[in-house]
Chains A and B, each alone.
Chain A
Amino acid sequence: MPKRIDPDTETVTFTFEGQIIRARPGDTVASALAASGIRHLRDSAVSGEPRGIFCMMGACFDCLVEVNGQPNRQACMTPVSQDLAVNRQNGGVEVKV
């Protein structure tokens, strides 16, 4: 289980799959989700297996999420900001044309 070692309070909120996530300034989307106990960030592109954070330094691209409608954003490289809309990424979405 994750825990925070500093006593500060969460002053930033954003949503993940519509759920409100409370974060601290300095968090990335990935760290805020980790602190909230959310581990499943996307489904892999080939088999659809669940994936979560892995390297936290922008190298592995396993934490790709959709941020404000933009797919393929690295959660670990995206600083949190108020009212971001983050969604789980999966390859199976039908395109509307």
Chain B
Amino acid sequence: MTIVPARHTTPDLLIIGGGIHGCAAALFAAKRGMSVTVIEKDSVARHASGVNAGGVRRLGRDFAEVPISVRSMQIWHDIPDLLGEDCGFQIAPQIKLAENEDELASLRKRADDLAMLGFEHEVVLDRSRVRELLPAVADHVVGGLACLDDGFAQPFWTTTAFRRKAEHLGAVFVEGVRAERLVREAGDWIVATSAGSYRAPKVLISCGAWSGILAAQLDEPVPVHAIAPLMLVTSRLPAFCNAVVGATGRPLSFKQMPNGTVVIGGGRRGIAEPASNRSEILFSQLRLTADTAISLFPIMASATIIRTWSGIEGCMPDEIPVIGASRKHEGIFYSFGYSAHGFQLGPAVGELMAELASTGSTQTDLSKFSIDRFPSNQCQ
């Protein structure tokens, strides 16, 4: 077994996966003075991190994620200072529309529940306030729930900007290298890859849909499965919407980019083939997305689809990620299974993982994200 060249020999932390979570962890670990190597089987931001819809959203999160999401938003607001690039980040309202009174009632209840926990960032919008924010919205919409200073960013730009900054601070990125096996040896982990072996005392597994294979090898099987969320982008339209819009009763993520194109996604899925890196677009599914978009924004009836795409993402049965230290092995950390909403969490989780890897603990309660939360019969 060849051990790879000297500059890679025994970094303090080896990160498997060059998505936003791997890149952000690399940056924050490097800021803490750790030596870091990131190995990525394809190229940085190749999958979900580079091709997602770019929503930077606290709105509507699982309550377990809210504290991390709120912390992440603080980092997002300072992203140009952190990375030296603005990553296309813009503050914009995130709005979840209610198409009937029942939906509006459920949104009101959610805002109240969140307020009880001490979080005031989600606000209920009545009929007229929705129209102030979204003049092009369909007549039947009765209200909504909003985070007025959420936003969106360019995913590929953001992920590669984290990488560039991490590299600037000394982190080493190696692309085209696939981690195959982890073995414990003399207090270190030896990671056998498609191109030689890497050695490090600490390893962060953050390779999205592909993480489950490594976790299973480490005898921590976890029911992560690959999904392929579908997205489409239209040709340029005149400016009509500066918020990121979702719906309550049906899947949707809708936003107009500063250049006038409209990116629509949000929940409909194609076929993911993680073994070959391919994903198939299912237009029978995407047609429902088109239908939803037109019914909420009638102006979209004149839009033209230029491109559709999907990226391969890891999804958990309870749709919240696995974040934290291994329950069985010293020096192994996990961060994956973001279930198609991990982009906004990237900066805060990166900070957290760096803290965890460097100090061995964190103040943040991660018990809900534990890798052993699933009954073993789910993990077969």
Contacts and interface: CB of A to CB of B under 8 A. Distances in A.
Interface stretch (B109-117, B231-239, B362-370): B231-239
Given A45-B236, A91-B260, A70 B136 contact: no
A93 interface: yes
A95 B240 contact: yes
A84 B236 CA distance: 24
B136 A95 contact: yes
Contacts of A97: 135-136, 240, 299
A74 B239 CA distance: 23
B9 interface: no
Contact of A95 (B235, B237, B304): B237
Contacts of A92: 238
Chain A residues touching B, majority SS: loop
B378 interface: no
A95 B236 contact: no
Contacts of A94: 238
A72 B136 contact: no
B258 to A, nearest CB: 12
A71 B304 contact: yes
B295 to A, nearest CB: 15
Interface string A31-75: 000000000000001000000000000000000000001111000
Contact of B302 (A45, A70, A91): A70
Nearest to B306: A72
Nearest to B301: A70
Contacts of B236: 45, 91
Chain B residues touching A, majority SS: loop
Nearest to B136: A97
A20 B306 CA distance: 31
Contacts of B304: 71-72
A92 B238 CA distance: 7
Nearest to B298: A97
Contacts of A91: 236, 238, 260
A71 to B, nearest CB: 6
Q: Which of A69, A71, A72, A97 has most chain B Cβ within 10 Å?
A: A97
B299 A72 contact: no
Interface in B216-248: 235-240
A93 B299 CA distance: 13
A63 to B, nearest CB: 14
B238 A93 contact: yes
Contacts of B238: 91-95
A94 B236 CA distance: 12
Nearest to A73: B304
A92 B260 CA distance: 10
A69 B302 CA distance: 9
A92 B236 CA distance: 10
B134 to A, nearest CB: 9
Interface in B98-144: 135-136
Interface in A69-97: 69-72, 91-95, 97
A82 B209 CA distance: 55
Contacts of A71: 235, 302, 304
B297 to A, nearest CB: 9
A14 to B, nearest CB: 20
A50 B276 CA distance: 43
Nearest to B302: A71
5 contacts: A45-B260, A92-B238, A95-B240, A95-B299, A97-B135
Interface of A: 45, 69-72, 91-95, 97
Which 8 A/B pairs are nearest by Cβ-Cβ distance? A95-B238, A97-B136, A72-B304, A95-B240, A97-B135, A45-B236, A91-B236, A93-B238
